[in-house]
Amino acid sequence: MKEIRDTRQHELTEAAIVLFGTKGYAATKISDITNKAEQSHGLFYHYFKSKEDLYVKIILELLSVIISTVDQAEEKHESPLKQLEWLTEVTHSGSLRDGVHRHILIMQALYSDHLSQEVKEEIVEKYRFMVERIEQIIIRGQIAGEFIEGDAEELAVYHLSLVNGLLLTNARKISPIKVSADKVLRQLTCHPRQEDDQ
């Protein structure tokens, strides 16, 4: 029984991610979500108090997943460079459409006018924590001599912007590319100076 409930809730959530990502929060109705998930309107309220409740749960869950992925990178690899390489590859693995919808949702939430100030602050705080986790990897990489010197927070933002920008560019399908973690990380990586010929 619990498995059926979990499946229905998951179907509603997945339908909402697609609709919020393509139509936006304001243009998406609860009936759109239930129709796409092929679930009853009443069932929606069994799992969620409102459309906003579902939206906020999705955003916070997406950010939690990203933070959990950073944890996995740190567990899998000792080298900060390898950690960021793995994170970059994971971001661009799986369904491109799903990745784009999730990225758009997070960006929408950070700048939304329809969420309460308290909820927005919670989302911003969680997003900031995610950026700080990347920043910490960069600081450790700088100490290890793997990453260039500079403000680690700024470098983390550059890195995230490039990774997410590539995701959106590939989604447009104008000139899609196979994302190379090595090329993405060139902006951060220290390259040993070649000694002058004597």
150 in the same domain as 72: yes
56 in the same domain as 32: no
Asked which of 10-14, 31-35, 193-197 is least confident by mean pLDDT, the reply is 193-197
Residue 58 maps to a domain: yes
Return the pLDDT at 196: 39
Does residue 113 have a pLDDT over 60?
yes
Instruction: Give me the number of domains the chain comprises.
Output: 2
Residue 1 maps to a domain: yes
Residue 192 maps to a domain: no
68 in the same domain as 36: no
Give the percent of the chain with pLDDT over 90. 45
Give the confidence band of 174 by pLDDT, cuts at 50, 70, 90: low
Residue 195 maps to a domain: no
Return the pLDDT at 188: 92
Task: Encode pLDDT of 26-82 as tens digits.
Answer: 899 999 999 999 998 889 999 999 999 999 999 999 889 889 999 999 999 999 999
100 in the same domain as 55: yes
Give the confidence band of 7 by pLDDT, cuts at 50, 70, 90: confident
Beta-carbon neighbour count of residue 72 at 10 Å?
Answer: 13
**Residues of the domain holding 125:** 50-187
| In contact, 147 and 141? CB cutoff 8 Å | yes
Residue 60 maps to a domain: yes
Three-state SS letters, the chain: CHHHHHHHHHHHHHHHHHHHHHHCCCCCCHHHHHHHHCCCHHHHHHHCCCHHHHHHHHHHHHHHHHHHHHHHHHHHCCCHHHHHHHHHHHHCCCCHHHHHHHHHHHHHHHCCCCCCHHHHHHHHHHHHHHHHHHHHHHHHHHHCCCECCCCHHHHHHHHHHHHHHHHHHHHHCCCCCCCCHHHHHHHCECCCCCCCCC
137 in the same domain as 108: yes
68 in the same domain as 30: no
Average per-residue pLDDT for the chain:
85
Return the pLDDT at 143: 95
Q: Once rounded to an integer, what is the mean pLDDT over residues 7-32?
A: 91
Q: What is the CATH number of the domain that holds 5?
A: 1.10.10.60
Q: What is the CATH number of the domain that holds 135?
A: 1.10.357.10
150 in the same domain as 104: yes
80 in the same domain as 23: no
Return the pLDDT at 95: 54
Cα distance between residue 173 and residue 193, in whole Å: 38
Return the pLDDT at 98: 62
Residue 193 maps to a domain: no
Residue 156 maps to a domain: yes
Residue 96 maps to a domain: yes
59 in the same domain as 35: no
30 in the same domain as 61: no
Does residue 193 have a pLDDT over 60?
no
Q: Once rounded to an integer, what is the mean pLDDT over residues 116-144?
A: 92
Return the pLDDT at 198: 40
147 in the same domain as 113: yes
36 in the same domain as 130: no
Q: When comparing pLDDT for 94 and 15, which is higher?
A: 15
Position of tokens 């309107």?
A: 41
Burial, 141: exposed, middle or buried (Cβ in 10 Å; 0-12, 13-18, 19+)?
buried
* pTM for this predicted structure: 0.81
